[in-house]
Structure 1
Amino acid sequence: MADQPVRRAGRPPSTVDGRTVPERLLGVARKLFAEKGFEGTSVQDVVAAAGVTKGALYHYFGSKDELLYEIYGRVLRMQTDRLEEAAAREGPIAERVHAAAADVVVTTMENLESTTIFFRSLHQLSEEKRKEVRRERRRYHQTFRAMIEEGQASGVFRDDIEADLIVDYFFGSVHHLPMWWKPRGRLSEEEIGRSFADLLLSSLTVRRPA
């Protein structure tokens, strides 16, 4: 996914080599955090690699902490927007859950570096930023859980398992992706997304007598 500029009040961000300063800072920070770790990367490392001043970094992000937060935050916001769009569509609930489940797998793999960096360094965020992340992730999970509950209420999904457990089980598998998935493997992102979604739906769908 292409980086989108951080939105701040005032004039539009200036550009460096065709990229806005926030885009350049985020791209450089992501690369350095992956190579050296969050703790091993200084603000000076980031601004030197980005070719900007410390004042520019602090204008757009305020701190190295906020850079880390934004690397993952933009991925989570994108995934939340896509989930809410899927949840609002018309059509059978099973199809909507399948689409949403496949999408979060694919978008996680497409942004694997950002996701891996963030979860590896989450404990180094300030308590305030950790709370923001938990709040945004809770919003995502609540929307996904509501879709499961809709399927249970309509008799399409089995209701002998709590929706919260279903959500935790599925997303535990999604969050484990960085531990084993490598780009250019035997299966594409789309094939793995469909397989995860198929497994979820096959475990949820009520089997009707023939």
Structure 2
Amino acid sequence: MGARSRPASPASVSTPADGKTAAKAADGRPSSTARKDLMAIAIDCFARYGYQGTSIDRIASAAGVTKGAIYYHFRDKEELLFEAVKDRTAAYEERIVGSVGPVTDPIAALSEIARVSVHVATRNNLRRFILTLMVEALDTNPRLSDAFRGIMRRFRSYLAGIVRLGQEQGVFRTDVDAGRAAQLFAGGVIGAELQHYQDPERVDLTIAMQGVVDQLVAWLTPSADQWPHVAAAKRGVRQHRRESQ
């Protein structure tokens, strides 16, 4: 869909029969709030139907607004998609970093990343939205695919930093490439989420995600006989899990 000019003001946007408008809500919400509401509804549509299957008409219908209200905030569907990806990805990354905090215990940090990922994946459509579009964009939207490539590179870089810290502390083996370990963890997280979305009755995401952490940690850590402090670190992460439940 080509670019469209924006209306001069929210007042120029027609209001549907139910009295709702995305430009400014009837209860006086500011335009920025309405914009975020539209992005949230668009995310749900993109997650369910993909980029190609989601039209401005579909989003407008789901939001209960006119197409003009959407075009007031966004030039076209592609801009709406990119703004939604940028906004929700930033929120997810901030949630991860904020929940983990300053990393002092690498094993506990990996476990916390898994816990937050499960929480986000089972509470809203954010992760499903990202995964659906990530796959679809590979062959249909080079610009979006490039954006997702940057997202995954940041995630792997963050994970690799945690692994390197563990190596510096002597908790993780130093003969393992941190970047490779990050790739395995990221792949395990995405794989667990996809299986859960496909078969939620058979794939318990909490159990699957913790399995990803346990397998990675088992591969990264020397035996407790060689490194007594590793056993203490593992006891610490078990305590962290109990406190997080």
* Fold in common (TM above 0.5): yes
Q: CA deviation at 1:114?
A: 1.5
Measured in 2, the distance between the counterparts of 1:67 and 1:120 equals: 18
Q: Deviations over 1:165-198 (max 9, x none)?
A: 1111111122223442147535654343333222
Measured in 1, the distance between the counterparts of 2:100 and 2:44 equals: 34
Please list every run of 5 or more consecutive structure 1 residues that lacks an aligned counterpart in the other structure. 1-10
Measured in 2, the distance between the counterparts of 1:202 and 1:188 equals: 21
Measured in 1, the distance between the counterparts of 2:207 and 2:38 equals: 33
Residues 1:94 and 2:104 aligned together: no
Partner of residue 208, structure 2: 192
Partner of residue 115, structure 1: 130
Bigger relative contact order, structure 1 or 2 (CA pairs below 8 A, ≥6 apart): 1
> Contact between 2:195 and 2:203, CA under 8 Å: does it hold in 1?
no
Q: CA deviation at 1:152?
A: 1.0
Measured in 1, the distance between the counterparts of 2:205 and 2:53 equals: 31
| Change over 3 Å in CA distance of 1:90–1:140 after alignment to 2 | closer
Which structure would you say has the larger Rg? 2
Measured in 1, the distance between the counterparts of 2:105 and 2:184 equals: 23
> Contact between 2:118 and 2:209, CA under 8 Å: does it hold in 1?
yes
Q: Which amino acid aligns with 1:47?
A: A
> Contact between 1:94 and 1:201, CA under 8 Å: does it hold in 2?
yes
1:30-109 paired onto structure 2 within 5 Å:
30-86=43-99, 88-89=101-102, 91-109=104-122
Q: Which amino acid aligns with 1:118?
A: L
The CA RMSD over aligned residues, in Å, is 3.4
Measured in 2, the distance between the counterparts of 1:192 and 1:170 equals: 12
1:159 pairs with 158, 174, 187, which one? Answer: 174
| Change over 3 Å in CA distance of 1:81–1:27 after alignment to 2 | closer
**What SS does the aligned partner of 1:176 have?**
helix
**What SS does the aligned partner of 1:156 have?**
coil
Q: Which amino acid aligns with 2:111?
A: H
| Change over 3 Å in CA distance of 1:162–1:109 after alignment to 2 | farther
**What SS does the aligned partner of 2:172 have?**
coil
Partner of residue 174, structure 1: 189
**What SS does the aligned partner of 1:181 have?**
helix
1:206 pairs with 222, 225, 242, which one? Answer: 222
Measured in 2, the distance between the counterparts of 1:201 and 1:54 equals: 50
Report the TM-score when normalising by structure 2: 0.65
> Contact between 1:99 and 1:197, CA under 8 Å: does it hold in 2?
no
Measured in 1, the distance between the counterparts of 2:205 and 2:28 equals: 30
Partner of residue 149, structure 2: 134
Partner of residue 15, structure 1: 25
> Contact between 2:46 and 2:133, CA under 8 Å: does it hold in 1?
no
| Change over 3 Å in CA distance of 1:158–1:120 after alignment to 2 | same
Q: Which amino acid aligns with 2:81?
A: L
Measured in 2, the distance between the counterparts of 1:15 and 1:132 equals: 31
